[in-house]
Amino acid sequence: MSQIPLGLLQQFVRVARLGNLSRAAAQANLTVSALSHQIRQLEDRLGRRLFERGPRGVTLTVEGCSLLEAVAGHFDGIEHALSRYRERRHDSLTLSASSGIMSSWLLPRLPHLVAAHPELELNLQSSSTLVDFDREPVDVGLRYGRGQWEGLRCERLFGEWLAPVATPELVARMAGTDPNDLLAWPLLGDPSNRWRDWFAFVGGELPRRYVAQFDSTDALRHAALEGLGVALGRMVTSSSLIHAGRLVVLGERFMPTEEAYWLVYPPRSEEHGGLAVFRQWVMAEAERYCNENLACAQPGCPPDLPLRAREGASSPFPRLPESTS
């Protein structure tokens, strides 16, 4: 077997770690086709199949796992040795976030940041998986969780609340059905089984079955938007769809979650000039967002309870249309 170019092995490690050809190609500044050709070239040279291709990405074969274990550490050592010699650009910031918070909350606000700081170049990465700051050239991220990520600086932005949501078309089809009697509505099962928490919060028994069960929040959101059934939606990431009239909130109850949205970054980013600019801006935007939409002055209420959950308060979300039947 002829000597294998290190570049092919480097691309193999990148794809193996990301598990996604599109993301790996973007990181390597290649087209997906060119990267796929390099992976096939490596497989041909080794006479081994290294990946299984599927609709959700690529997964390592047994042979691929063995190769990754053998070579990945060497590339990590090279990367670490060279990192000190790379010039850090303080006018360029790479940020990773899930598609939900990216599209519904961050992107609508970014024009204000760009206008105020035209010198800052933003590189945005949308991903449903957590970025590995030790292995990927990402400076900062927005994450949903409990703020307990080892080795990272975590700063809370705002909380999240859950409520049943459905399309206006589904509401029209269910005219006359009490929106608070959810067991009479077609429900969509979510990946984390949060309906269990919901019914414990509002009272009542779990449904015996769901219209459909989903293993990803993106698929669940699309199903709800197609009118398949009622989803237990996150209010922060669903707010743009609610305000646009594509979804409506059923009932009058909102359930606060134990998770929140966080600004996270590794210690190496603390001296990054671009992060300092972005951090100051995003923290101010988060505070403004809370003051405008999520304040709760009623004693005994959770501090981040949405306005609509307060008795007599005006709602930031459209109410369910009254039945005319």
Q: What is the pLDDT of residue 281?
A: 96
In this structure, of 118-132, 208-222, 305-319, the range with the lowest mean pLDDT score is: 305-319
In this structure, of 22-26, 55-59, 281-285, the range with the lowest mean pLDDT score is: 55-59
Q: What is the pLDDT of residue 313?
A: 35
Which tens digit of pLDDT belongs to each residue from 194-207? Answer: 999 999 999 888 99
Q: Write down the pTM of the prediction.
A: 0.67
Of the chain, the percentage scoring pLDDT greater than 90 comes to 50
Say yes or no to pLDDT of 268 above 60.
yes
Per residue, the 3-state secondary structure of the chain, as one string, reads CCCCCHHHHHHHHHHHHHCCHHHHHHHCCCCHHHHHHHHHHHHHHHCCCCEEEECCEEEECHHHHHHHHHHHHHHHHHHHHHHCCCCCCCCEEEEEECHHHHHHHHHHHHHHHHHHCCCCEEEEEECCCCCCCCCCCCCEEEEEECCCCCCCEEEEEEEEEEEEEECHHHHHHCCCCCCCCHHHCCEEECCCCHHHHHHHHHCCCCCCCCCEECCCHHHHHHHHHCCCCEEEEEHHHHHHHHHCCCCEECCCCCEEEEEEEEEEECHHHCCCHHHHHHHHHHHHHHHHHHHHHHCCCCCCCCCCCCHHHCCCCCCCCCCCCCCCC
Say yes or no to pLDDT of 8 above 80.
yes
Which tens digit of pLDDT belongs to each residue from 68-126? Answer: 999 988 887 777 666 554 556 678 899 999 888 998 899 999 999 999 999 999 999 98
